[in-house]
Structure 1
Amino acid sequence: MSLLRRLWVSVVVAMTVVLVGAFAVSLFTARSYFEQQLTAQASDGAVSLALSMSQQSKDVATMELLVTALFDGGHYRQIRFTDPSGRVLVERIQDDTAEGVPGWLVALVPMEARPGQALVSDGWRQVGKVSVVAARSYAYRSLWRGALQLGSVMLAIGLFWAMAVSMLLRWVRRPLDEMAEQAEAIGAGQFRVIEEPRVIELQSMARALNRMSERIRALFSEQAGRIARLRDEGSHDGGTGLLNRAAFNGELRRVLSDPDVAPGGCLAVLRIADLVVLNQKLGRARTDEWLAAVAEALQDGLEAGDDVALGRLGGAEFGVLVPGMSLADGRAMLERLCSAVTALDLEVDAAHRLHLDAAAVAYRRDDTPGELMARVDSALMRAEAEGGIVAEPGGSPLPIPVPGAEGWREMLEGALARHEFTLTSYPVLTSEGGLVHREYMLRLPTAGAVLTAGQFMPAAVRVGLAAACDLEALRLGIARLGESSEPIAINVAPRSLIETDFLDGLDILLATAGTGASRIAVEVSERGLDASLAGLEALAEVLARHGAHLGIEHFGRQLAALPRLYALRLAYLKLDGSFVASLHENPGHQRLVKAIVDVAHGLEVAVYAEQVHTAEEWAAASVLGVSGMTGPEASRRLAAA
């Protein structure tokens, strides 16, 4: 279902709820009014009849005459005259069925008409009691007529509103369709300019597309700028600049399935519960400005880290994903972020105080995104009910084989000296299923488990052994060249590129590979590169000298760097898995991937997709021009071949 159709449906549903609610309130208010009137009618009739009886002779015939006169002259269901002992002397009863009124209305809106009672006396002596119950049939008929009139008015209002919303959405959709056609034309090499729409919210977007269309004809760098804007539109929240919910979910899926990421961490959610009050008190514009300030405060409160993901999940709900963080540190982080948000200078009024709810859960790699989000939602509900911050542990704690930096140093140095490291491979296949190369990643067997690079490489970087570990991976990879004719790719840490010893060691290893070096690709993660691409140029020179290839993995943040990467003779780039997640269902990411592929192909750079989990994602990436796939789906297809 398209976004505009969902908006139309949501407006219609909201209007229906409002109208039905107003109708129900009016109906039950009318019922209350009629019940009061029936009670008053019964009380007045009882008092009037008792007064008349008290002034007449007290024989039964006279009493019956007076009861009959009142019963025949008014809308009463029952009139009863009893003596002081409770014995019925005179009673008149009639059917109280409201003709022309549907039975469901009577069942849905029952009326309780309380009887009116009065005493009949002879001087100072009580001679009996009168009980009068008003008839409800007239009230039901009046209620039914009012309901029909009110329902007709509300139905007319609802139909008029639905027509108005439909016309408004068609008016908005026309410039959106024009902009979509313009984007497709740009992808096809046709650079046209569209007229700016009269919709104020869309004018800036159309203006940006026009400028992009004019500039893209001249420079590849302008193409990269267009891609960056598409990425922001598809992956970032327009009001805060943070990741939107879809992009945040993509990051969550990536860290749960990427073997090079820490095998566990912390997922936290912070919710500001008073967004409706803020909108009412401050206005939409100032509330949006304040939410942007909240996003900035959250970003400032997070410690720098390549894999930290901060997103706006909707409304005033923000998510933080930190691989490798313990639950205790996650709770401390939430306390720090809550304090930063509370410290913002926000004046509403004395009656409405800002209320924050926050929860953190620990996760492991074997968790699924859906289960993890359900757990954090449950923890957040607990936080709302209990107050404060809720921290919920996951399953068994993450294995940490050696505590402390010195312990890590001793373990890694020993493993390097004894050549205990091994390699594990993941296939990269063409869209037709042929092998592009095998991507090899370093593993460290221990007594308790086999550690992935995501577990030991952060410690290796901290103790200065990252370059030594990467050279060991290259040595093992070159040894594989003699066992098979398949091309290989080796991952190296960006930190190693700025160490002279690493480049010298790489030069020596590639020289020992001889002609087999042409089947080697060295991959560097974009996440660890700075804006200047420090060390990448020197790495490219060493690789080119031996005929080896350069690849960039986890690509998608530094789109403007494509022309500079081309100058470094980049062989391929691998799209970050967050852009591939549910690619077949995300038009924004489809446009982004298509644009990246077009620019990369223009630069003669191959594009591969990471973390392809399903056949649908595989098919969508293939249609968009992605020439290679890796991930669980690639492993399944290779095993089935």
Structure 2
Amino acid sequence: MARRLMKDATRRQQGETTLQGLLLLFGGSLLTVTLVAAFVTSYGYFREYVADQLSAHAQDGATATGLSLSNAIDGTDPVAAASLIDAVFDSGRYLVVEYLGHEGEVIAGRRMPLAASKAPDWFVTLAHLPLPVAEAEVVRGWSRLGKVRVVSHPGRAYDDLWRITLGLVLAAGVIAVLGLLGLYLLLRRALGPLKALESQARALGRRDFRKRVRVRSTRELNRVTEAMNQMADDLGQLFEGQGKLIQHLRKVNNEDSVTGLASRSAFDQRLKVEVESEEKSAPGVLVMIQLASFIDYNQTFGREQGDRLLNEIASGIRAFVDQHAESFAGRRTGAEFAVFVPGASAADVRIWAEELVRELDAIYTGQAAQLEVLVHAGLAVATPGAGARSLLAAADEALRAAQQYDRSCSLLADTGVENHHNTDTWRSIITQAVRQNKLSLWLQPMVHDVDQELVHYQVFSRIDTPEGSLKAGLFVPMAERLGLVADIDRMLIAQALEYLDRHPGRRLAVSLGISSVADVAFQEDLLTMLARAGSTAGRLWVGIAEATISHHRKVVTSLVRKLVRLKVPVLVDRFGVGGVPFSYLKRLPFRAVRLDNSFIHDIDRHDENRFWLESVIGIAHSRGVKVYATGVETAAEYSVLCKLGIDGAMGYHLGRPYAADT
């Protein structure tokens, strides 16, 4: 409802007059009124002037004719009087020239109709000049012979008045055009900063605090632009400070202070989610790594050098994790580390672990100099139905067995579980599923508030094999390692768009693999599919894992901006485990973040995660970013999330995944 009201408000605003248009309208109206008033005044003055001239001309004609009849010509002679009247009338400047007797009878006279040579008839009718009648007495000595009546011809007066009127109209038009043009240029320059301010405000709404207004104008607008620029600087610094706060809280709660790997509690919690969550459970292999004789190393070289060694060991482990998708590592205690590799077979991980042990042994030996040091590792396979505690115990037992050897080595715990598919088998399974389009969509609802109002559906993929339906948590990590996840994501996007076409009222959210985002060909295919989908693409949320942002910043930046131009909402997936500073939300227009489920598990009993989540929600909401949670398994967890103001949550407590075609 709120979104609909905002759209209506925006639509109404787009229909309103701009400030520049309003000022132009007011200024133009004022100028028009002024010019019209000036025109009417000038026209009235010239009309009165022409009328007075016409009256004076008639009087002069009457006086001259009367004097002529009184003195130069015998006024008693009708023939002579008619000759004089004809001579005066033939000048064409009079409508009426008459010589009247005592009784008003016409002794001699001429008349002609009114006509103008240049002025149009409508103007003559509209102007309607008065026709003044002038009279003069005709006398002979003391005798009054009669009188002369003269009416001037107004034709020339109308022509003069028409010419003057045309000049006034032309002058008013030129003044109006020049005045409006000058007013437009003045307003354009004076109000120039407003467009820049609007652009800056929209940039602030997108959390882009880098835009500055450079246009200078009036003193008042300059003050406003300076205030906006200062506000952008302050907001940018505030956002940066808030991002650093979140990053600091995340490190304090979830990272080991020495190595930067996950702390023991954070690793155990994420491991518990990975192996015990129904959607993600098994297979996977846990690797426990121990540096032998580390106490002697500390005593010999000092604690500072010991911390430096741990950092180098952590760098080697981190490089191993980067090479294996979905893997994660942590520091347990002292010189003991743990790595979990989901979706891999024990045979493969054993080979990888041997290589890792050799690399770490080389680092340790190079630093230890004369000391005799070793690196041991214990491996345990995650089994369906077994908990994280059992897995840790099995790996620890294998580690203790490996420590009985006087050389660096790794041992696999004997859990009685047969090895899962090897790499070649996985390649065959995934390739065949892609070729035969065996991918199916499963939907899990994302809900909001205590009433569990539907926000959208999260899409999970499964592939059909002779062994049955395999969950994404099983095959996606292997697809990442084998470079096949882009093919799976293409099928996923295509099926999701088809589903949205069949269900116009629904919204879906999909998560892209790390390799997919980094694949230029996949990006082009993704953008093409979304562009062809038109408005349907606006109902598909695209999730990009935070770890992807860490590894492929430039690629992610380009892709996110292209998706936003297509009006596709983008969110940060698995937020909190990527180790990326929160400041990327300042640069990229993400609409939401989806918290990793390791932060949600037991949040009702985990004060540190609850405080961190509360901070994330507050800062994200201040930036217009929504916060979603995953992995909600209990009513207590969801109750805490609702109190914290979460925008949406999903998990088995709120709704189990179901096949989209059912």
TM value normalised by structure 1: 0.57
Show the 5 A alignment for 1:27-176. Answer: none
Task: Return the letter of the residue paired with 1:427.
Answer: P
| Aligned residue among 443, 449, 474 for 1:425 | 443
User: 1:265 aligned to 2:284?
Assistant: yes
Residue 578 of structure 1 aligns to a residue whose secondary structure is: helix
What corresponds to 1:398 in structure 2?
A: 420
Return the match for 2:575 from 546, 555, 561: 555
Structure 1 residue 347 displacement after superposition: 5.4
Residues 274-308 of structure 1: CA distance to partner in whole angstroms, max 9, x if unpaired?
Answer: 45545555554444444344434544566623423
Residues 301/574 of structure 1: CA separation in 2 closer, same or farther (3 Å cut): closer
SS in 1 for 2:284: strand
1:615 aligned to 2:635? yes
Given the superposition, is the C-alpha separation of residues 506 and 274 from structure 1 closer, same or farther in structure 2, using an over 3 Å criterion?
Answer: closer
Distance 1:366 1:512, change over 3 A: farther
Corresponding residue to 1:489 among 509, 515, 518:
509
Q: Which moved further from structure 2: 595-604 or 578-587?
A: 578-587
In structure 2, C-alpha distance between the alignment counterparts of 1:502 and 1:345, rounded to whole Å: 44
Q: Contact (CA 8 Å) 1:250, 1:577: kept in 2 or not?
A: no
**Partner AA of 1:376 in structure 2:** A
Q: Is the 8 A contact 1:269 1:359 kept in 2?
A: yes
**Structure 2 residue aligned with 1:588:** 608
Aligned AA (1:391): L
Preserved contact between residue 291 and residue 316 of structure 1 (Cα < 8 Å): yes
Where 2:256 maps in the other structure, the secondary structure is coil
CA-CA distance at 1:251 after TM superposition: 2.6
SS for the counterpart of 1:345 is helix
d(CA) in 1 for partners of 2:550, 2:461: 24
Q: Counterparts of 2:593 and 2:249 in 1: how far apart (Å)?
A: 18
Q: Aligned partners of 2:613, 2:238: CA distance in 1, in Å? A: 19
- After TM superposition, the structure 1 = structure 2 runs for residues 214-363 of structure 1, keeping only pairs within 5 Å, are 218-256=237-275, 263-272=282-291, 274-299=293-318, 304-339=323-358, 340-341=360-361, 342-346=364-368, 353-354=372-373, 356-363=375-382
Deviation per CA, 1:380-417: give whole Å up to 9, x if none: 34334566643114423324696375x4675145223x
* Partner Cα separation in structure 2 for residue 624 and residue 328 of structure 1: 44
AA of the residue aligned to 1:444: I
Corresponding residue for residue 64 of structure 2: none
Corresponding residue number in structure 1 for 2:68:
none
Determine the C-alpha separation between the residues in 2 that align with 1:506 and 1:357. Answer: 45
Shift of 1:267: 0.7
Q: 1:526 to 1:294 in 2, by over 3 A?
A: closer
Contact 1:498–1:534 under 8 Å retained in 2 = no
Q: How much does 1:548 deviate?
A: 3.0
Q: In the alignment, residue 615 of structure 1 is paired with which amino acid?
A: A
Change (3 A) 1:629 1:544: same
Distance of aligned partners of 1:430 and 1:335 in 2 relative to their CA distance in 1, 3 Å threshold: same
Distance 1:404 1:439, change over 3 A: closer
Deviations 1:61-101, CA, capped at 9 Å, x for gaps: xxxxxxxxxxxxxxxxxxxxxxxxxxxxxxxxxxxxxxxxx
How many residue pairs match? The answer is 418
CA distance in 1 between partners of 2:383 and 2:236 (Å): 47
Verify the 8 A CA contact 1:268 1:319 in the aligned structure 2.
yes
Q: Deviations over 1:5-48 (max 9, x none)?
A: xxxxxxxxxxxxxxxxxxxxxxxxxxxxxxxxxxxxxxxxxxxx
Highest Rg: 1 or 2? 2
Distance in 2 separating the partners of 1:426 and 1:389:
40
Q: Distance in 2 between matches of 1:455 and 1:637?
A: 16
Deviates more, 1:217-226 or 1:557-566: 557-566
| Correspondent of 1:471 among 487, 490, 507 | 490
Deviation at 1:601, TM superposition (A): 0.8
For residues 458 and 322 of structure 1, do their structure 2 counterparts lie closer, same or farther at Cα, with a shift above 3 Å needed? Answer: closer
CA 1:382–1:438 in structure 2 vs 1: closer, same or farther (change >3 Å)?
A: same
Q: Is the 8 A contact 1:554 1:576 kept in 2?
A: yes
Q: Distance in 2 between matches of 1:445 and 1:637?
A: 16
The alpha carbon displacement at 1:476 in A equals: 1.9
- Partners of 2:280 and 2:474 within 8 A in 1: yes
What is the CA distance between 1:449 and its match in structure 2?
1.9
The separation in 2 between residues aligned to 1:505 and 1:564, in whole angstroms, is 25
Q: Partners of 1:260 and 1:226 in 2: how far apart?
A: 32
Relative distance call for 1:604 and 1:289 in structure 2 (3 A) is: same
Q: SS at 2:637's partner residue?
A: helix
- Letter matched to residue 219 of structure 1: L
CA deviation digits over 1:120-162, x for unaligned, max 9?
xxxxxxxxxxxxxxxxxxxxxxxxxxxxxxxxxxxxxxxxxxx
Equivalent-residue separation in structure 2 for 1:470 and 1:596 (angstroms): 29
What per-residue deviation string (whole Å, max 9, x for no partner) do you get for residues 520-568 of structure 1? 2122222233455344345445544554311221112557664544554
Q: Evaluate the alpha carbon distance shift between residue 532 and residue 338 of structure 1 in structure 2; reply closer, same or farther with a 3 A threshold.
A: closer
Letter in 1 for 2:649: M
* AA partner of residue 390 (structure 1): L
- SS of the residue 2:332 aligns to: strand
* Separation (CA, whole Å) in 1 of partners of 2:550 and 2:442: 28
User: Among residues 605, 608, 625, which one is paired with 1:605 in the alignment?
Assistant: 625
DSSP 3-state at the match of 2:237: coil
Unmatched tracts of structure 2, length 5 or more: 1-232
> Counterpart amino acid of 2:496?
G
Look up the SS of the partner of 1:403 in the other structure: helix
Aligned CA distance change for structure 1 residues 300 and 479 (closer, same or farther; 3 Å): closer
CA contact (8 A) 1:271 1:317 kept: yes
- Aligned CA RMSD, in angstroms, stands at 3.6
Give the Cα separation in 2 of the matches to 1:498 and 1:437.
26
Separation in 2, partners of 1:278, 1:569? 49
What CA distance in whole angstroms lies between the structure 2 residues aligned with 1:469 and 1:230? 36
Alignment CA distance shift 1:301-1:397 (3 Å) = closer
Query: Are the counterparts in 2 of residues 278 and 348 from structure 1 also a CA contact under 8 Å?
Result: no
Tell me the distance in 2 between the aligned counterparts of 1:516 and 1:319.
Answer: 44
Report if aligned partners of 1:566, 1:605 keep a CA contact under 8 Å in 2.
no
CA distance in 2, matches of 1:265, 1:512: 39
Return the alpha-carbon distance in structure 1 between the equivalents of residues 241 and 258 of structure 2. 24
Alpha-carbon distance in structure 2 between the residues aligned to 1:528 and 1:261: 20
Q: How has the CA–CA distance of structure 1 residues 561 and 531 changed in structure 2, closer, same or farther, with 3 Å as cutoff?
A: farther
Alpha-carbon separation, structure 2, partners of 1:381 and 1:543: 51
Q: 1:562 to 1:277 in 2, by over 3 A?
A: closer
| Distance across 1 between alignment mates of 2:579 and 2:412 | 37
Residues 384, 504 of structure 1: CA spacing in aligned structure 2 closer, same or farther, 3 A cutoff? closer
CA contact (8 A) 1:503 1:542 kept: no
